[in-house]
């Protein structure tokens, strides 16, 4: 069967009341669907994306050759089987791929919000998706699946909309962002902010894509490091040196340096730097316990089945953070959760690249 | 007994033949000594410093309140007991604390070398120290001790001057820098290079100290991350937020962010950015096996007793890199080596901060 990939944008004129007390109004949400909604609307699987992800989770556009970021997981006969499920992935509020974000025009002007854009939280991202699903007349879903910031969204759904999903599957994530991850984001944010071409947020978005903003590139390099591991880098690059460079040239490069540079500068062509500041802010202040007296109290709200999948060598969100969450779920008497630690030496990136190590767990969770 | 701290600079007019084939001429080496040289010169302990370290390893200057970087280890009745040993620590060639480096005047002009300075290797650093010791009429030493880049120097001494030291003690280091560490250095280097105030190396060193070079600060933040660990950051900062900042302010800060910023910008007041490029280059291209057919062949040269001390949670130079070295020493039939892994959750920084966890091992090694 075909993937039945469809991309849509919904426009909302009602105010979105944000966790900060501020209001976003009006706003757009761009989303993608795969598969077909069944008659009783019981086959919906929501997929949530990470920091630099988008609604384009699966399939390939006609004019592009890059498949969606979880293409190996979503499709006909794949773990999230589009012959069976109707999959929805929305670009989060605050991002830069169609949903309203800091570089969107600020109503009623045509100028971008820039720093006038309110700080968005993971809870806000989830709330906006819930409103989108209401618009689509979907009031209950079979499952919500996501990794990294997508996993944060899945957990936030579980706590704040306890009756909304039958199953929550959160991968490579945490219950609250820890200082190591915040510190990596800090390096990236500082590099963006101190880049004179960033013009304190008043850059021209068209110009900036052309000129390869160095601050964003440096930030991406730091981010990249946090997604990888010693082992994956060792395997991929070792101490290979560029054959064209002299070992004793100050600017001679190891392959790993060349790779980081290429990826860093390439990133600036497709991701907006101000958006990077806003999304990393949302990640930094993510805390599932906010608004509750304790994380235990938050977890007592959960009614969905919870599947937690960590990766043994994840350096960004450590597997013991997921283990802690599992322990706390036990502590509050939750009977419907399962914790799985996947042996991997790919680091945080494992949730995007080592699909064969966990896709059966996703499949089982969806059918269990 | 007093520490008998003395600081000297020796000037050398003979050419220093570098590993790159280039020549450094003339050059200075600044060094510090503690304790007293005994009559038969049998009590010398050489201490080697790391990336941002200097010859000031112990004691406190009259006009300063900051003690040397290994003050807890070096002194009367301490692990490296200055009542017994005569300790020498030299600022490495290529650094910025008195020994000749890229911002030193290029003979016969008074202008700094800048990019005309040759790439320096760890082997060059060691060779220059060997020449210094010759000048001081010291032709054999009791021990050479160092951590991180200091450990690289200690190992390089062992391979290239096999009869020079009775004992080699290398901490928190490796036999060849791996891509993870190179990648961290890359982020820092790129941040320095892309800072417009760096002026492609043609900055005014006096001006740059005043204006807090953001590229160097960002680089230091990245470096700082690589020295720490999840656990040490968790313990030190948790998710503490600055009390004066709003959680939903885009530029509101966690304590960990504030700390990184403070340390990053403070670093620019005392460390030269061009020197940072050169020293990280030396670290990146460090490979004990260079010039040999294999690392095994290099290790067969070793005649000194070798003590390898790693830290379980070192994220920069992993403890298994030291373990590999230990295995290879076994493989080549070396009978005089010992490997100790110290349980620590301080990360790489442990060799500078958790002295009480390993100072007895240093003491034993020196007396064993």
Q: Whole domain around residue B247: which residue ranges?
A: 181-281
Last residue in a domain, options B248, B281, B314: B281
Interface residue A6 vs chain B (CB under 8 A): no
Q: Buried (b) or exposed (e) across B193-207, using 16+ Cβ within 10 A?
A: bbbebbeebebeeee
Tell me, yes or no, whether B46 and B150 share the same domain: yes
Tell me, yes or no, whether A299 and A159 share the same domain: yes
Tens of pLDDT along B36-78? 999 999 999 999 999 999 999 999 999 888 999 999 999 999 9
Compute how many other C-beta atoms are within 10 angstroms of the C-beta atom of residue B358.
Answer: 23
Tell me, yes or no, whether B118 and B83 share the same domain: yes
Peptide bond into A58 cis (omega under 30): no
Measured in whole angstroms, the distance separating CA A99 from the mean position of its chain's CA atoms is 14
Output the CA torsion B77→B78→B84→B90 (10° steps): -150
Tell me, yes or no, whether B249 and B328 share the same domain: no
Tell me, yes or no, whether B190 and B276 share the same domain: yes
Tokens 């050479």 belong to which residue?
Answer: B144
Last residue in a domain, options B256, B281, B306: B281
C-alpha to C-alpha distance for A224 and A240, rounded to whole angstroms: 19
Tell which phi-psi region holds residue B114, choosing left (phi > 0), alpha (psi between -120 and 50) or beta. left
Say if CB A48 and CB A29 are below 8 A apart: no
Q: Is the pLDDT of residue B15 over 80?
A: yes
Give the SS3 label for residue A128. Answer: helix
Tokens 């997508």 belong to which residue?
Answer: A150
Helical (H) or strand (E) element with B211: helix B205-211
Q: Is B137 exposed, middle or buried (0-12, 13-18, 19+ CB in 10 A)?
A: exposed
Q: Is the pLDDT of residue B260 over 90?
A: yes
Query: CA torsion sign, B70 to B74 to B77 to B81?
Result: positive
Instruction: Classify residue B67: in a domain, yes or no.
Output: yes
Nearest to A157 by CA among A45, A54, A248, A79: A45
Tens of pLDDT along A11-23? 999 999 999 999 9
Interface of A with B in 107-166 (CB under 8 A): 115, 118-119, 121
Q: Is the pLDDT of residue B1 over 80?
A: no
C-alpha to C-alpha distance for B119 and B96, rounded to whole angstroms: 14
Interface residue A333 vs chain B (CB under 8 A): no
Q: Tell me, what CATH number does B104's domain have?
A: 3.40.50.1820
Tell me, yes or no, whether B160 and B120 share the same domain: yes
Tens of pLDDT along B156-188? 999 999 999 999 999 999 999 999 999 999 999
Say if CB A78 and CB A54 are below 8 A apart: no
**In the structure encoding, which two tokens stand for residue A161, read together?**
């909309």
Taking CA atoms, A244 is separated from A107, A253, A262, B236, in Å, by 52, 9, 16, 44
Minimal-distance CA residue of chain B relative to A279: B250
Minimal-distance CA residue of chain A relative to B276: A250
Tokens 């706590």 belong to which residue?
Answer: A159
Q: Tell me the residue ranges of DSSP E strands in chain B.
A: 6-12, 16-17, 23-24, 27-34, 44-48, 74-75, 80-81, 86-90, 141-147, 165-171, 305-311, 337-342
Tell me, yes or no, whether B136 and B222 share the same domain: no
Tell me, yes or no, whether A117 and A237 share the same domain: no
Tell me if B221 and A190 make a contact (CB, 8 A cut-off).
Answer: yes
Q: Any idea which residues of B carry the catalytic annotation?
A: 148, 314, 348
Query: Kind of pairing, strands B305-311 and B165-171?
Result: parallel
In chain A, the number of structural domains is 2
Q: What is the DSSP string of A137-151?
A: T---EEEEEEETHHH
* Residues of B with Cβ-Cβ distance to A191 under 8 angstroms: 191, 218
Nearest to A56 by CA among A70, A46, A45: A70
Q: Tell me, what CATH number does B262's domain have?
A: 1.10.1740.110
Instruction: Classify residue A241: in a domain, yes or no.
Output: yes
pTM of the model: 0.96
Nearest to A126 by CA among A116, A113, A141: A141
Tell me if B239 and A179 make a contact (CB, 8 A cut-off).
Answer: yes
Q: Is the pLDDT of residue B119 over 90?
A: yes
Instruction: Classify residue B14: in a domain, yes or no.
Output: yes
Tell me, yes or no, whether B167 and B311 share the same domain: yes
Instruction: Classify residue A1: in a domain, yes or no.
Output: no
Tens of pLDDT along B88-118? 999 999 999 999 999 999 988 889 999 999 9
Instruction: Classify residue B1: in a domain, yes or no.
Output: no
**In the structure encoding, which two tokens stand for residue A311, read together?**
């990766």
Tell me, yes or no, whether A47 and A170 share the same domain: yes
Interface residue B221 vs chain A (CB under 8 A): yes
Last residue in a domain, options B231, B262, B281: B281
* Residues of B with Cβ-Cβ distance to A234 under 8 angstroms: 178-180
Question: How many H-runs (helices) and E-runs (strands) does chain B carry?
Answer: 12, 12
State the distance between the two ends of chain A, measured CA to CA, in whole angstroms.
Answer: 24
Tens of pLDDT along B296-330? 999 999 999 999 999 999 999 999 999 999 999 99
Tell me, yes or no, whether B169 and B307 share the same domain: yes
Collect all residues with Cβ–Cβ distance below 8 Å to B62 and sequence separation of at least 6. none
Percent of chain B scoring above 90 in pLDDT: 95
pLDDT computed for residue B239 by the predictor: 97
State the distance between the two ends of chain B, measured CA to CA, in whole angstroms.
Answer: 24
Collect all residues with Cβ–Cβ distance below 8 Å to B262 and sequence separation of at least 6. none
Instruction: Classify residue A258: in a domain, yes or no.
Output: yes
**In the structure encoding, which two tokens stand for residue B143, read together?**
């021990």
Average pLDDT over residues B240-262: 96
Phi and psi angles of residue A133, each rounded to the nearest 5 degrees, phi first: -65, -40
**In the structure encoding, which two tokens stand for residue A230, read together?**
């010693």
Distance of residue A308 Cα from the nearest chain B Cα, in angstroms? 21
pLDDT computed for residue B366 by the predictor: 98
Minimal-distance CA residue of chain A relative to B102: A250
Say if CB A280 and CB A51 are below 8 A apart: yes
Nearest to A315 by CA among B233, B215, B344, B343: B233
Interface residue A187 vs chain B (CB under 8 A): yes
Tell me, yes or no, whether A42 and A115 share the same domain: yes
**In the structure encoding, which two tokens stand for residue A169, read together?**
């599957």
Percent of chain B scoring above 70 in pLDDT: 100
pLDDT, block means (10 residues), chain A with 368 residues: 94 98 97 98 98 98 93 98 98 98 93 97 98 98 98 98 98 98 97 96 90 94 94 96 94 97 95 98 98 98 98 96 98 97 96 98 95
Q: Buried (b) or exposed (e) across A242-257, using 16+ Cβ within 10 A?
A: eeeeebbebebbbbbb
pLDDT computed for residue B339 by the predictor: 98
Helical (H) or strand (E) element with B74: strand B74-75
ipTM over cut 0.90: yes
Q: What is the DSSP string of A83-115?
A: TT-EEEEEPPTT-SSSS--TTSB-TTSSSB-GG
Say if CB A169 and CB A145 are below 8 A apart: yes
Q: Is the pLDDT of residue B209 over 90?
A: no
Compute how many other C-beta atoms are within 10 angstroms of the C-beta atom of residue A320.
Answer: 16
């Amino acid at each position: 069967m075909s993937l039945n990939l469809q991309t849509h944008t919904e426009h909302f004129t009602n105010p979105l009341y944000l966790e900060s007390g501020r209001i976003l109004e009006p706003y757009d949400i761009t989303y993608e669907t795969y598969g077909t909604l069944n008659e009783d609307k019981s086959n919906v699987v929501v997929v949530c994306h990470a920091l630099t992800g988008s609604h384009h989770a699966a399939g390939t556009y006609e004019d592009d050759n890059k498949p969606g970021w979880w293409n190996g997981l979503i499709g006909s006969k794949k773990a999230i089987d589009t012959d069976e499920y109707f999959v929805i992935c929305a670009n989060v509020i605050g991002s830069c791929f169609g949903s309203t974000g800091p570089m969107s025009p600020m109503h009623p002007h045509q100028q971008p919000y820039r720093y006038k854009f309110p700080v968005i939280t993971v809870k806000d991202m989830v709330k906006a998706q819930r409103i989108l699903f209401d618009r689509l007349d979907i009031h209950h879903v079979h499952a919500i699946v996501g990794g990294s910031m997508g996993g944060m969204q899945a957990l936030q759904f579980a706590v704040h909309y306890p009756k909304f999903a039958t199953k929550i599957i959160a991968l490579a994530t945490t219950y609250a962002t820890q200082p190591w991850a915040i510190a990596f984001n800090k390096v990236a944010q500082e590099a963006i902010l101190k880049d004179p071409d960033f013009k304190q947020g008043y850059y021209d978005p068209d110009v900036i894509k052309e000129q390869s903003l160095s601050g964003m590139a440096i930030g991406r390099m730091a981010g990249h490091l946090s997604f990888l591991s010693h082992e994956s880098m060792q395997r991929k690059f070792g101490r290979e040196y560029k054959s064209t460079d002299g070992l004793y040239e100050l600017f001679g490069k190891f392959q790993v340096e060349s790779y980081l540079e290429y990826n860093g500068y390439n990133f600036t062509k497709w991701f907006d730097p101000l958006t990077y500041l806003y999304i990393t802010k949302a990640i930094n202040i993510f805390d599932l316990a906010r608004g509750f007296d304790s994380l235990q109290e938050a977890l007592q709200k959960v009614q969905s089945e919870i599947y937690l999948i960590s990766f043994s060598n994840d350096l960004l969100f450590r597997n013991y953070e997921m283990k802690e969450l599992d322990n706390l779920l036990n502590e509050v008497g939750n009977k419907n959760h399962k914790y799985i630690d996947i042996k991997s030496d790919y680091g945080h990136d494992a949730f995007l690249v080592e699909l064969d190590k966990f896709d059966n767990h996703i499949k089982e969770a969806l059918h269990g």
